[in-house]
Each structure stands twice: as structure tokens, then as C-alpha cells.
Amino acid sequence: MDYRIEHDSMGEVRVPADRYWAAQTERSRNNFRIGAGIETMPAEIINAFGILKKAAALANNSLRPEKMTDEKLSAVVQACDEVISGSLNDHFPLVVWQTGSGTQSNMNSNEVIANRGNEIAGAKLLHPNDDINMSQSSNDTFPTAMHIAAVVALEKKVVPAIDTLVGTLKRLEEENEGIVKSGRTHLQDATPIKFSQEISGWRSSLEKDRRMILSACEELKELALGGTAVGTGLNAPAGFAEKAAENISEITGIRFVTAPNKFHSLTSKDEIVFAHGALKALAADMMKIANDVRWLASGPRDGLGEIFIPENEPGSSIMPGKVNPTQCEQVTMVAVQVIGNDVAVGMAASQGNFELNVFMPVCAYNFLQSARLLAESILSFNSNCAVGIKANREKMHHNLHNSLMLVTALNPYIGYENAAKTAKKAFKDNISLKEACVELGFLTAERFDEVFHPEQMV
């Protein structure tokens, strides 16, 4: 492999000749061989760094044109646009398990943008620290990148995925409006419910999760950029924070603002915790929905069997013809991962000391994994399972009329205790509720038929 010599404040370092990163990135790459090639800094963070470095350069050009000249700006903007597009992702090799402030990933961005910008300009025009990091610190850029990446992931991936599944559930509600089935509580028979009502519970849960996620996004739209090292804004010109936030808003099409208190925004990760809590709520609801679907589809002969779901692949290497609810299983595994990630995010956020939190890379890694997994899991569940859900009307009708909890309809006529006696006799003697009620002398057969209408109990 060919190398070139780069240097930083600690001396010279050999760097692969075909890479845009420089000395500090290479030191980190060599010093943190932990999860290399697998647990690297998320692409969403790299994208966000491209956005914020471009926004910062534009702000500096406006406020410090003698330092960020038009010539420099042109090269920086073009290099940042390439970072944003993802075409330079191979030049960001650093792992999550590095310095807790994300300093080395910030310098990775500075070095790549500087070296690519110099290549574009055809001259040694840009310095990673003096130009690309102008008016900034790793301590305010990394939390800014976290917030940008989080909002983009939530608003442009998670929310659209929710909307897709909600649309499918609305259609299923309409298609199944007239079907009455047995309700269940405690995994035991309960009073009747319309299948459309059951589906509406799933849909409403997702709609509430959507509102909570969007509410959390509003807090994430406050940016730390402009606080520099400890929140005082040292070395950043007046108005930089506001202009940078305006530029980020223009680049992303999402309205971001500068955080009113930078001492809070550098050390506290409460907005991330709050937003991930909304993701955890979504994961919990998706777990519930997936479990409901696989219970209702269980069988095909020895389970509930009240719905049919798509048969996507063989389910066993030994049992011919077996088909499993695999989309439900991927959803529940994703939900478990997200709930686990929530512990990591909460613990990371709790470890801020004085003017900085130094658990930011792991916080970002877990948050973005949760958002990515949920968005992809929901879309997979929708297209490979939910869209093909069909009611097994015959089985629903059978289970409904076989349920002992229909006896609840008799409470107003024979009282709770007599209704309980009726249900217990029917179960013990393996007879119908009607037969039990008549044998016990609580109602005549004719009167039973007059008052007993399961379809009207919904």
C-alpha cells in the first residue's frame, strides 16, 4: 500500500495515499481497533457533519469573509456536498468506540473536507482546524450532528414508515367492519369485539406514537453549534450560532434553531433520551401488534386460527408444509433491540460531567440504530404481512359462539352470580350456555333467545 506523510500537533503520521483523511483520523484508526469495519460511526452522523460543516462555512463567510474567503468557501461547499451525498463515506473509517466527545470523528470530517477541498481547488488552500473547524469545537459539533441526524431519521424514515402501516390498518378496518369475534383479556375469553375495533386499537397506538415522535423532534431541533468548547462560544463570532442554524435549516428543509443555553446543550442529552423514549413506545406497540397477529394466526388447526397471514417461506427444515409468522418475529426481535438500546441511551445521557457529556458516540449509535431498525422493520412487516391479513370468518364465528363469556349479556336478566353459575355449568358439562341456563331454571329457552344476541354486545 502506498502512503503519504501527514502531521498534526503530535508529529508525523503515515496515511494511506488514496484516502482523504489525515493524521488525527489515522491515529484514532490505529488506537481504537474495536469493532472495526462493523461498528463504525453511523452514516447518518457523517451526513450530518457534511451539513453542519457546510452551514458553518457559509456562516463564517458571512461573518469572517477575510478568513473564510469566497475561494475557500467554494471548495468547502463542494467537498461538503460530496460528504452529504455519501460518495465519500469510505473516507470515514472510525469506530463508535473512540473518544466520548466524538473529537476524532469531528477531525475526520475536518480532514476529509480540507483535503478534498484542496484537491478541488488545486492548491493547499484549506486547513482542517483553521478553516473547516473555524468557530467550532468537537464539543458543539458532535451534539449538533446527533440532533440533525436524529431529526432527519425520525421525520424522513420512521414517521413515513408509520404512515404506511397506518394506511394499511385503515384499509383493514374498513374491510372487516361487519365481523364480530371473541374478545380476549388475560389470554382468556372475554366479551365480543368487532375485528375492525381490534384493528383500530393497533392503528390508534401507532398514531399516538407518531405524535409523540414529532413532539420529541421539536426539542431535538435546538442545536449546540456556537457553544464551542464549554458553552461560552469562545472563538465564535457574534451571530454565528444563529446564522449556522439558519443555514442548516435551508440545507435540510427542516427548521432548526440555536439552543438558548449552550451550557445545557453540550452536557445534557435529555432531548435524545426523550426522543428515544418515543421510539421505545413505538417498539412496545409494534411488539404488541406483532404478538396479536401471530396469536390470531396461530395454528393452522390447533391454534386460534382467526386470521390468515401471507405464507412467505418454509418454516421448518424437518416438518414439511410448516409456515411460521416470520414477519411478526422480526418485529419482536427489533422491539427487544430498541428497548435494550433505550437503556444504553439513558445510561449514556446520565454520565455528563461538568461542561460535557463524553458518551455521545454510543448514544448516537444506539439512537440511530433504533430509528433505522424500526423504520425498516415496520415497512417489512407492512409489505410482507399486514397487507395480506385476511379474517377467517368461519373460525371467528365458531370461537365467538363457543365463548362462555357471552354469559355477560345475561347479567341484567339473571344477575352476576346466576350468570357465573351458568358459565361454570356449561363448561363442566360441556353444554351450551342456553342449555345450562335453562337447566338451572334461570330463563326459559324462549326468553334466552330474546335477550341473548352476541353480535349486539360490541
DSSP string computed for 227-249 = -TTTSS-TT--TTHHHHHHHHHH
Q: Is 401 a catalytic residue?
A: no
- Which CATH number does the domain housing residue 203 bear? 1.20.200.10
Q: Is 186 a catalytic residue?
A: yes
Tally of structural domains, the chain: 3
Q: Indicate the average pLDDT of the chain.
A: 97
At 240-262, the pLDDT tens digits run 999 999 999 999 999 999 999 99
Check whether residue 408 and residue 390 sit in a common domain: no
Check whether residue 386 and residue 410 sit in a common domain: no
Check whether residue 190 and residue 59 sit in a common domain: no
Check whether residue 268 and residue 386 sit in a common domain: yes
Domain with 83 in it:
3-134
What are 347's strand-pairing partners?
Answer: none
At 392-406, the pLDDT tens digits run 999 999 999 999 999
Residue 253: its pLDDT value, please? 98
Check whether residue 156 and residue 44 sit in a common domain: no
Does some domain include residue 321? yes
Check whether residue 104 and residue 29 sit in a common domain: yes
| Phi, psi (rounded to 5 degrees) for 373 | -60, -45
Residue 262: its pLDDT value, please? 98
Does some domain include residue 248? no
- Which CATH number does the domain housing residue 408 bear? 1.10.40.30
CA nearest neighbour of 328 among 357, 307, 352: 307
- Which CATH number does the domain housing residue 24 bear? 1.10.275.10
| Spatial separation of the C-alpha atoms in residues 293 and 195, rounded to whole Å | 12
pTM here is 0.96
Which of 81, 99, 134 marks a domain boundary? 134
Locate 47 and state its grid cell: 451526513
Which of 342, 360, 394 marks a domain boundary? 394
Does some domain include residue 118? yes
| Spatial separation of the C-alpha atoms in residues 356 and 224, rounded to whole Å | 11
At 278-337, the pLDDT tens digits run 999 999 999 999 999 999 999 999 999 999 999 999 999 999 999 999 999 999 999 999
Residue type, 70: D
At 143-182, the pLDDT tens digits run 999 999 999 999 999 999 999 999 999 999 999 999 999 9
Does some domain include residue 233? no
CB 3 within 8 A of CB 15: yes
Locate 10 and state its grid cell: 503530535
Residue type, 429: D
Marked catalytic residue, from 316, 350, 401, 453: 316
Does some domain include residue 242? no
Does some domain include residue 250? no
Q: CA-based diameter of the chain, in Å?
A: 101
Q: Is residue 455 very low, low, confident or very high in pLDDT (cuts 50, 70, 90)?
A: confident
Check whether residue 442 and residue 350 sit in a common domain: no
Does some domain include residue 125? yes
| Spatial separation of the C-alpha atoms in residues 311 and 368, rounded to whole Å | 31
Check whether residue 418 and residue 275 sit in a common domain: no
Check whether residue 59 and residue 164 sit in a common domain: no
Check whether residue 435 and residue 382 sit in a common domain: no
| Phi, psi (rounded to 5 degrees) for 137 | -145, 155
Check whether residue 284 and residue 425 sit in a common domain: no
Does some domain include residue 251? no
Residue 1: its pLDDT value, please? 84
Which of 105, 134, 163 marks a domain boundary? 134
Check whether residue 148 and residue 73 sit in a common domain: no
